[in-house]
Structure 1
Amino acid sequence: MAVTPTTATPAKTQDIGALGKAQLASSYDTFLKLLTTQIQNQDPLSPLDSNQFTQQLVQMTGVQQQLYSNDLLKQLVSNTGTGMAQAVSVIGREVTADSAKATLSGGRANWSYNLGRDAASVKIEVLDSNGRTVAVSAPTNLKAGDQAFTWNGSDLTGLKRQDGGEYSLRITPTDASGATITSKVFQRGVVTGVEQSAGQSILSIGGTRVPWTAVTSVRQPA
């Protein structure tokens, strides 16, 4: 009878930085209570030397700032050592990302979408950042599977939108009976760059910024 090996779960290590901040906060509160008590009960004819308390306050503030600096450094190391390194590794590769957003670049915005089954009709809407419909299209390829859609930047009035704007795609596929067909919009393309924004790794795909966490697959480009 085969025995499944068990793996011991390592004990959770204590965060030294968090412990240091907790101890400092406790000491700081105690120091302020002692200071207040001493000031209230000091001899008016022989007041306490305020310079000593000022120096101690400065020292404790310095330690507090150092602890917070350590937290920032830890976050930076985490970003550059794990998520950022993983994101950089996909530069030059083709990725699929769960995102309906695209940036208009070079007068074009590109999306991919998937139809769960053959459709009788598909309505495609390009939405601006406020959710307003700026363009509508009806593709002729109604077969099930992955499809691609490119918007030329012209809105409903015929005006060409400026590059740099972010837009999203909404599709409404229906069958012959008018029932809605399952569909999904996503981004697919070669990663050309990676950046850090608010502690998050952002990929650049054809001018569109996509969070690293939205990536669902990675492969070598054909």
Structure 2
Amino acid sequence: MAITDTSSISGANAASAAASTASVSNSDSEQRFLKLLVTQLNNQDPLNPMENAELTSQLAQMSTVSGIEKLNSTLSGLVSQTGSNQVLQAASLIGYNVLSPGNTLATKAAEEGKDPAVQAFAVQLPGTAADVEIKIVDASGKTVRTIEAGGMTEGVNAVTWDGKDDAGNVVPAGSYKFTVAASNGGTAVEATALTFAQVAAVKQGATGVTLELASGQSIALSDVRMFL
């Protein structure tokens, strides 16, 4: 009587069979693997039996697949826990002013006989810039103030505006924006505008933790450069 040769079922095929059942539980995967292995042993060619090394290899591959599934489960738990910790850490920023990417400045009417509040913002540079020019424009796009900041170093550089135009007059209360032009020896240096805004709320989204600012803007926790 002819005996069917199933010794061609390799360890890779057994591992593939176990991997294809990723949607079922780890226990089910192990049971299927063991049934496949027993069937393979029962139907092997007695003139060409399975080598011990081959059997050991298949068992090792099953152990590896099982270990990876458990590792993935553990990592998922750690990621979930990390997300919860980030929310708690971010919640401590509520009420604080954070420095993050943005170029909007809001001025308020000054009290009679007093100068307007100084506006603080910043410029972030990837490298040194010998010349930095900052222009503050109103809602219509008109430049009301040009600040020649001179040289700036790599990193975050603080800048202030006294709320006055180039003629020294106090600008009307409202929303303004600023642009930054930085260069070094005639070569443009990419600059990032940064502004302060108060954190009003924190939420956990699909992309991670986000901060809801009083200005209406939403930023990622990783966007925060500084808080006061």
TM-score, length basis structure 1 = 0.49
Bigger Rg, which one = 2
TM-score, length basis structure 2 = 0.48
Whose relative contact order is higher, 1 or 2, with alpha carbons under 8 Å and at least 6 apart? Answer: 1
